[in-house]
Amino acid sequence: MTVRPPKYQLHKATGQARVRFKGRDIYLGKYRSRKSEERYRQVIADWLKNQDRVTRQDSARPTGTTNRVITELILDYLTFAKTIYVKDGKPTGELYGLWAAFRPLKDLYGDTRVVDFGPLDLKDVRQRMIEIHWGGPTVSARVINQNVDAIEFLENA
């Protein structure tokens, strides 16, 4: 099965170019600028490289079994995210947000096999986020939910 790369698109509200991966936008700069088109090619090249790596791993692994643990998944995704969430050569706030979102996951379930991580485990991670007072003394449900969404995205990446 051939998977097509995401399209280079205009985000009308900001006038920026964007590419969408699994419901998440990556902004590339001013639409139709040389810089944004170069950034798009770089993002797609990284995506294709990642797709090829995933295909090779999947074909080498017996179906339905894996010994991969959560920490390895986090590390692989953050390595990929470092190539995407960059502006002017520096990591963006989105990258720092991902690091923060994944920390309670790693602390609680870092040595757990990915295939063994389930919905109740995700509830535990969410509860840990609440307990460590993310967003200050009054925990923002929006912030917690954004971070849980990031973890769910990681599981499906």
Mean pLDDT of 31-54: 81
Mean pLDDT of 33-42: 89
Q: What is the rounded average pLDDT for all residues in the chain?
A: 79
pLDDT in tens, 53-89: 544 544 444 444 467 889 998 998 888 888 888 888 8
* 3 and 53 share one domain: yes
* 14 and 89 share one domain: no
* 21 and 8 share one domain: yes
**Residue 20 pairs with which residues in a beta bridge?**
25
In the block, which residue shows the tokens 């009054």? 138
Compute φ and ψ for 16, nearest 5 degrees: -95, 155
* 101 and 114 share one domain: yes
* 25 and 79 share one domain: no
* 50 and 72 share one domain: no
How far apart CA 11 and CA 26 sit, in angstroms, is: 10
Give how far the C-alpha of residue 117 lies from the chain's centroid of Cα atoms, to the nearest Å: 17
* 27 and 97 share one domain: no
How many domains does the chain fold into? 2
Q: Which domain covers residue 19, as residue numbers?
A: 1-60
* 94 and 154 share one domain: yes
* 72 and 45 share one domain: no
Supply the pTM of this predicted model. 0.55
* 54 and 69 share one domain: no
* 53 and 98 share one domain: no
- What is the model's pLDDT at position 142? 75
Of 75, 113, 138, which is closest to residue 121 (Cα–Cα)?
Answer: 113
* 49 and 126 share one domain: no
Count of C-beta atoms within a 10 Å radius of residue 86: 17
Listed in sequence order, the DSSP H helices in the chain are 34-60, 70-84, 93-109, 119-131, 141-156
Of 121, 127, 119, 123, which is closest to residue 109 (Cα–Cα)?
Answer: 121
